[in-house]
Structure 1
Amino acid sequence: MSQNASARSSISASPVDSPAEETTSLLPPSAPAHPHSHSHPHTHPHMPNHAHARKTSISARSISGRSVAGSVRNYGAVAGRPGPAEQAPRVSKVGQRRILTTFPLQATFFILTLLVFAAFVLSLILLLNTVLDFSVNFLPYRGSGFTEFWIALIGAWIGLGGVLFFSHPSYLFFLTTLITLILHIPIIFLSLLSPSLKRNHAPLILVPLVLTASTLIFTLLANFLVRRAKKQESLRISRMLTEAAGRERASEESTARALVGVQGKGFWGRLLGFFGGVVGLIAGLTGLVLVSLLLVDLSISAYDGSLPLPSASSRLVKVHPQSSQWPINIHLSCTSSNSSLPTVVYTSSSGVPGSLALLPTPLPPVAEGAQNPGRWLFDLQEQGRLGNVCTWDRPGYGFSDVLSNADLGSISDALWEALDSAGVIRDSKKEELLMVGEGYGGLISRIFAARHPNNIHAFLHLDAQTASTYFSELSTTQFISRLTSRLFPSLLTPLSLNRLPSVLLRRSTSLSRILASSHPTPSTVRLNENLRKARLQETIGSQSMNSKSFRILLESGYKYPSSKPAIVLSSKDRIEKDERWAEGQRVLAEEVTAEEGLVDWIKVKEVGHFVCESEEGKGICEDSILKLVKIKSK
């Protein structure tokens, strides 16, 4: 009894705030001795199993979670039956496993997984649609489709993060996902209320928006449910341990943290949780940044879409080519004149909107001494030396809508319908159109003439493309090269990585962003995603010898009015440097054009692809078209 009294007195004499007292505050109270323990032959107060001796040994231990768990192990145990504290670590681990087995969490996880899979599939479809245009068969839209791809990808990315970190939710991931979801609201309003955005994106954009919003909602729901389930499980274990301990000072939160959180995770568990939180934060911030950039770009596009047409003679004409599933608007500008001279129809080169010809000076940013392609035609018209002069923005260029499946035949049909609707073609049997095709525009002029030979007066080919120079056998290396040089940069356009800096630094105007062009330099193509889409259609979609455009061009040769007067202007420098180009120009002048139709083949010196830009080249171009205008129709 004296030894027991001394042990009790040593404990009571210890300071209240000592580590030993803090440790024992989480422990169960001393249990009364077994009724028959005094008669047990092996019971002795000096043995470690004695209650007071055991408490003294516990008081000397550290306050770590491991020491706490060890101190309570086997407490209150009787023969063949472990005490409640011995069950605590095992119950806590089982409890953590039980969190994900409840029906609400299982259903949420299953639905979230399905949404993520659907978002990834939709992202792949929209990615392929940017080149192949196959999803447009059931969802009419008149834009590039790049924005829709990014919205679907954002939903897939954040949803994947929600699945991977389902059992380890992060507050920061929850916060970034919530903000991303909120930012979808102005995107929906912009897409439906802005006339230009509604025409370019609706209703296709609603599909990824609804799917992404659903994915984000279930990601947030999963994050919330798992955190709540973990908290409830911790409180349950805390209550069990607190009741077993019987100490009012031990709060539920500190007990759960000491006995469940610390000893359950350990060093590697805490390290894994830290990296999981970092990765979740990065995933959430990535989605937030992407959707913010999309919102900025759509806002700029909505503002630019309110800009009026560039000329008093400009008009939007509704056309519906046979290959298109729905009508589109084509921007056409024709000067009015009472002259009986044939109407000049100018079709610009690849990457150059025809509307630039309407502007007396190039749009910023531009190099010194640059000229707008086709402007010299309107200068002649203003001087009264030409009759009507028409220029147009091909589908996807300038103020014109994007055309699905835009092969050469569909583009030429769109031009015919636009001229017909505008009343330019007053008599279907009268030869009145003088076709001026520059570069890629030369191919369109040829197909247009083959389909409407009775409406052709003459041709002026300005360093025009031909079948041998434009089309080629598509190898794997060339296809990958086109993807990296055209598709991937095009996909980045809706993120406003170029447009936003140009707006903030005032390097471009609304008109220069709408009439973005590869010429004059520096190129501004990166400022307009519809133009990027049109160039993808012209290259990846139509530049192969297996493409529909190539077949249409070959078939047009049988109906092409080769005997009509034609002048071919070629860059001499380019001919001397490129044998393939030289052969293509020769075929255009000597084979595509019949001998009786060829008026002249002029190799212009010291000019590049745009042969009418230099002073000498401009003079040759003016003389050539005036010569063709004066030729009497046969």
Structure 2
Amino acid sequence: MAPRDPEDSRREPTERDRLLPDQQQNRNNHGRSDGYLDPDDPAVSPYNLFAVRAARGFTVLFLAISFIWWVLLFVSIFISPPGLHTRGSGFTDFAFTTLTTGLLLLSLLFFSEPSLAMRVCQSTIAVLLLVDLIIIVTVPQIRGQEGPPGIASVVWTTLMAAYCVFTDRLVAWGKKEEEERLTGRPESRRTLKQWLAVLAATIFLVIYIIIAILMTAALIIRSRDATLEMEGKRYWVDDDKYQVHLACIGDDKSSHGNSSTPTILLESAESPLEYDLEHWAYAAWNNGTIDRYCYWDRPGYAWSDNAPSPHSAGMSAENLADALAQAGEQGPFILVSAGYGSIVGRIFASRKSDKILGIMLIDPLHESYLSDVGSPTRGFFLWGYGIISPLGIRRIIGALFQGRTREDRVYGKDADQTGKLIKARLQENLVAQSLTKSEISTARSIQDKDTPLVVVSSGIKTGKSEEWGHNQKEATKITDNLLSWDVVNKAPHYVWQTYDGRKVMEKRLKQLVKAAAASSPFTEEVAEE
């Protein structure tokens, strides 16, 4: 063994020095006489290298940042802090941040056990996330819905996935370097504990790959759905925070100077209106029962963006009034609303009573049922369903095996699988027993009692529930001018889904139009002109 330089004894040791002072001590402690450590010695560790220790420190820092961002996004689902509102559901950026946190946590747990399998899995995830980023940035509708928080989340997740690949490779290099320096050769064998660690990490990463694949497929479907054309336009509301969709069909009365003929204003039940109720209105317009009708999507429904949380029925009513004003629709209106939409419609009618010539309620939700809408159990399940909605499992199955179309997903039978509609229902749930309950109570007290009213109820629901039937009768008393109340035999909650329901609804709509024309103050104004 070469004599040690006196200068070496005075300088501080570095990570390139051997850890044992001499060959004799090595022989006594480890049974080797070549000056190297045993491969199982705890001193043989990649943590001896500053670069590896720094990478682990940065991983802890990035995990802390991701967790703080995760908490902020979690809170924004329920109460939107300034700058964190997205016009989309908010579940997508939350899902990406959850994936980021999982990747970094897994990287920390198995930091000292790098493997080729882990690097391949992490690289696969990084590529999939890069595809997600490209989709979000290049599709205008998705980019607008996700906004800066969503884009920042997917960029951060992509960077962290690439960073995990880098750290795993760095630790593998450091492990090899230290083994060569301290044991004389790189170690190719692993203990059973190490193999189990690699296996566990790989299993988790494979699960993350499946999640990333599902999220990518869901984004591809969203980009496909974004190409579906709509009737009407989208209007910025609530100080330009988000857009709602409004469309009108029929003659534009304002261009003919005839404002005596009322426009039918449709308000959907618990699902997008385009799937069912709009078809009935189109048929009524096509056969001459009505001259013009308008319909819209509440925030989160069909083509409308999500509103910031909290969002109540009264806020939706204000959104409708704002959109109508921007579209130049001055009325007068006959309001036709169904189910939960009757709550929104009644609030709108009470606040805009000078423009409402008639009200038609189709199996309306009575305010006493807001406790069911605001049930904590229902809210928990809506939240849970929203959290997994970015995976798009049902939408992917529907598209691949059940022939579901863009129409089905945007406003049809699969619309309730989209994060936007789930978020809208969660918002309805959160304020049902507070803001919305107060708003509908005020609406009942200020409602114009002379407004003609028609109520059409479901025979099935009234037959099954005495309480539902009683509350349908209570709905006939919101004004003092009830024209008719029909309970349609064998009709479901969505009364228009049966032929008898559609026939009764059209008959009563004719009655309302006739009553509105006879009592309209707008008729006198036109005659004077």
Confirm whether residue 96 of structure 1 aligns to residue 1 of structure 2: no
Partner of 1:392: 296
Task: For 1:272 and 1:513, locate their aligned partners in 2 and report how far apart those are by CA, in whole Å.
Answer: 48
Task: Please tell me whether the aligned partners of residues 73 and 84 of structure 2 are also in contact (alpha carbons under 8 angstroms).
Answer: no
Task: For 2:326 and 2:234, locate their aligned partners in 1 and report how far apart those are by CA, in whole Å.
Answer: 7
SS where residue 113 of structure 1 aligns? helix
Task: Please tell me whether the aligned partners of residues 407 and 549 of structure 1 are also in contact (alpha carbons under 8 angstroms).
Answer: yes
Task: For 1:587 and 1:152, locate their aligned partners in 2 and report how far apart those are by CA, in whole Å.
Answer: 48
Partner of 2:399: 503
Partner of 1:192: 137
Cα distance, 1:420–1:499 mapped onto 2, change above 3 Å: same
**Aligned-residue CA RMSD (Å):** 2.8
Aligned amino acid, residue 567 of structure 1 = V
Confirm whether residue 289 of structure 1 aligns to residue 210 of structure 2: yes
Partner of 2:12: none
Deviates more, 1:452-461 or 1:553-562: 553-562
SS where residue 96 of structure 1 aligns? coil
**2:167 aligns with one of 222, 225, 234:** 222
Aligned amino acid, residue 343 of structure 1 = T
Task: Please tell me whether the aligned partners of residues 108 and 218 of structure 1 are also in contact (alpha carbons under 8 angstroms).
Answer: no
Aligned amino acid, residue 353 of structure 2 = P
Task: For 1:297 and 1:444, locate their aligned partners in 2 and report how far apart those are by CA, in whole Å.
Answer: 31
**1:326 aligns with one of 234, 237, 241:** 241
Aligned amino acid, residue 578 of structure 1 = S
Partner of 2:339: 439
Task: For 1:459 and 1:78, locate their aligned partners in 2 and report how far apart those are by CA, in whole Å.
Answer: 94
TM-score, normalised via structure 2 length: 0.85
> Percent identical across equivalent pairs?
22
Task: Please tell me whether the aligned partners of residues 469 and 581 of structure 1 are also in contact (alpha carbons under 8 angstroms).
Answer: no
Partner of 2:13: none
Confirm whether residue 465 of structure 1 aligns to residue 386 of structure 2: no
Cα distance, 1:327–1:146 mapped onto 2, change above 3 Å: closer
Task: For 2:24 and 2:329, locate their aligned partners in 1 and report how far apart those are by CA, in whole Å.
Answer: 102
Task: For 1:589 and 1:193, locate their aligned partners in 2 and report how far apart those are by CA, in whole Å.
Answer: 51
Name the larger-Rg structure.
Answer: 1
Aligned residue pairs total: 492
**1:531 aligns with one of 412, 415, 421:** 421
Task: For 2:467 and 2:411, locate their aligned partners in 1 and report how far apart those are by CA, in whole Å.
Answer: 31
Task: For 2:291 and 2:252, locate their aligned partners in 1 and report how far apart those are by CA, in whole Å.
Answer: 6
Task: For 1:77 and 1:161, locate their aligned partners in 2 and report how far apart those are by CA, in whole Å.
Answer: 39
Provide Cα deviations, 1:378-408, integer angstroms capped at 9, x if missing partner.
2121122212111222221112222223311
Shift of 1:282: 1.3
Task: For 2:183 and 2:192, locate their aligned partners in 1 and report how far apart those are by CA, in whole Å.
Answer: 24
Task: For 1:78 and 1:272, locate their aligned partners in 2 and report how far apart those are by CA, in whole Å.
Answer: 27
Confirm whether residue 114 of structure 1 aligns to residue 1 of structure 2: no
Cα distance, 1:586–1:275 mapped onto 2, change above 3 Å: same
Aligned amino acid, residue 620 of structure 1 = V
**1:423 aligns with one of 328, 331, 334:** 328
Shift of 1:155: 0.8
Task: For 1:134 and 1:166, locate their aligned partners in 2 and report how far apart those are by CA, in whole Å.
Answer: 36
Task: For 1:582 and 1:83, locate their aligned partners in 2 and report how far apart those are by CA, in whole Å.
Answer: 90
Shift of 1:224: 1.8
Provide Cα deviations, 1:153-179, integer angstroms capped at 9, x if missing partner.
111111111000011112211111122
Cα distance, 1:216–1:566 mapped onto 2, change above 3 Å: same
TM-score, normalised via structure 1 length: 0.72
Structure 2 spans left out of the alignment, 5+ residues: 2-21, 521-529
Aligned amino acid, residue 419 of structure 1 = L
Shift of 1:151: 0.7
**2:461 aligns with one of 574, 585, 603:** 574
Provide Cα deviations, 1:202-244, integer angstroms capped at 9, x if missing partner.
21212322332343233223212221111111111344xxxxx
Structure 1 spans left out of the alignment, 5+ residues: 1-27, 29-73, 240-251, 357-371, 427-431, 518-523
Task: For 1:145 and 1:214, locate their aligned partners in 2 and report how far apart those are by CA, in whole Å.
Answer: 20
Task: For 2:384 and 2:209, locate their aligned partners in 1 and report how far apart those are by CA, in whole Å.
Answer: 21
Aligned amino acid, residue 347 of structure 1 = E
Cα distance, 1:492–1:568 mapped onto 2, change above 3 Å: same
Shift of 1:276: 0.5
Task: Please tell me whether the aligned partners of residues 349 and 439 of structure 1 are also in contact (alpha carbons under 8 angstroms).
Answer: yes
Aligned amino acid, residue 93 of structure 1 = D
Cα distance, 1:424–1:507 mapped onto 2, change above 3 Å: same
Aligned amino acid, residue 355 of structure 1 = E
Cα distance, 1:85–1:627 mapped onto 2, change above 3 Å: same
Confirm whether residue 561 of structure 1 aligns to residue 476 of structure 2: no
Task: For 2:493 and 2:400, locate their aligned partners in 1 and report how far apart those are by CA, in whole Å.
Answer: 33
Cα distance, 1:576–1:276 mapped onto 2, change above 3 Å: same
Partner of 1:489: 385
Shift of 1:606: 2.1
Partner of 1:626: 510
Cα distance, 1:394–1:233 mapped onto 2, change above 3 Å: same
Partner of 2:306: 402
Task: For 1:336 and 1:77, locate their aligned partners in 2 and report how far apart those are by CA, in whole Å.
Answer: 100
Shift of 1:464: 0.5
Partner of 1:178: 123
Aligned amino acid, residue 87 of structure 2 = R
Shift of 1:617: 2.4
Aligned amino acid, residue 100 of structure 1 = Y
Higher RCO (CA < 8 A, seq sep 6+) = 2
SS where residue 247 of structure 2 aligns? strand
Cα distance, 1:77–1:147 mapped onto 2, change above 3 Å: closer
